[in-house]
Amino acid sequence: MHRDKKIVYRPPFIYDKINLEEGVSMKKLIVYYSKTGHTESVVNRFEDFDSQAIKAQSDDPNQKTVEFIFKPSIDDIKHIVFACPVHGFQACRIMKAYIKQLSDFAGKTIDLFVTHHFRFAWLGGRQALKQMRHLIEEKGGKVRYETSINWQSHKRELDIQSMIEKY
């Protein structure tokens, strides 16, 4: 029996915050953009994550370039959730521009979610998630979970709760 090992009790909800191999806290952050507040309202329901909003000079979808006012840093973040609305059947341009300007996702746990008003996910939600996943994979990242939240669905609350539990 090993008496020199110290056993520390941690409640079950803490285990996902601890990297047991390294014994260090795992930093968890939701990086999001929300134009109407729907995406932000979902972000605010995550209790175990910090969150930071991307801020841009303009949210005009017709503007070709994005000028950022604030870009969250993900350098020492181990678990990242990217969240944004669907605009014009694709991920919003501000989120795409933000992901494009990041350098590397190696060693990070990455999850995604989008919010939309389309009756079916195939009308934009899936396409937006696919675009975001592709941008992340180009930079060495792997997406673990993807969720499309239909704002008009009668299952919206169930979908949100299920996503929060999974992430």
Contact 82, 145 (CB under 8 A): no
The model's pLDDT over 104-120, given as tens digits with 9 standing for 90+, comes to 898 999 999 999 976 65
DSSP 8-state code for residue 86 = E
CATH of the domain at 78: 3.40.50.360
Does residue 1 lie in a domain region?
Answer: no
Q: Cα separation of 136 and 131, whole Å?
A: 9
Beta-carbon contacts of residue 74 (< 8 Å; ≥ 6 apart): 29, 31, 80, 102, 108
Does residue 11 lie in a domain region?
Answer: no
Q: Which of 114, 108, 141, 139 has its CA nearest to residue 126? A: 114
Does residue 5 lie in a domain region?
Answer: no
Please state the φ and ψ torsions of residue 14, each to the nearest 5 degrees: -85, -25
pLDDT of residue 124: 73
The model's pLDDT over 34-43, given as tens digits with 9 standing for 90+, comes to 999 999 999 9
Does residue 128 lie in a domain region?
Answer: yes
The model's pLDDT over 52-79, given as tens digits with 9 standing for 90+, comes to 999 999 988 778 899 999 999 999 999 9
Measured from the Cβ of residue 53, the count of other Cβ atoms closer than 10 Å reads 16
Does residue 136 lie in a domain region?
Answer: yes
Q: Cα separation of 119 and 153, whole Å?
A: 7
Number of domains in the chain: 1
Please state the φ and ψ torsions of residue 111, each to the nearest 5 degrees: -125, 155
Does residue 12 lie in a domain region?
Answer: no
Q: Which of 30, 76, 19, 35 has its CA nearest to residue 52? A: 30
User: Would you call 121 helix, strand, or coil by DSSP?
Assistant: helix
What pLDDT band is residue 5 in, cutting at 50, 70 and 90? Answer: very low
pLDDT of residue 122: 56
pLDDT of residue 123: 64
Buried b (16+ CB within 10 A) or exposed e, 7-39: eeeeeeeeeeeeeeeeeeeebbbbbbbbeeebb
Does residue 16 lie in a domain region?
Answer: no
User: Rounded to two decimals, what is the model's pTM?
Assistant: 0.81
| Range(s) of the domain holding residue 66 | 22-166
The model's pLDDT over 125-159, given as tens digits with 9 standing for 90+, comes to 899 999 999 999 999 999 999 999 999 889 999 99
Q: Select the more confidently predicted residue: 122 or 27.
A: 27
Does residue 13 lie in a domain region?
Answer: no
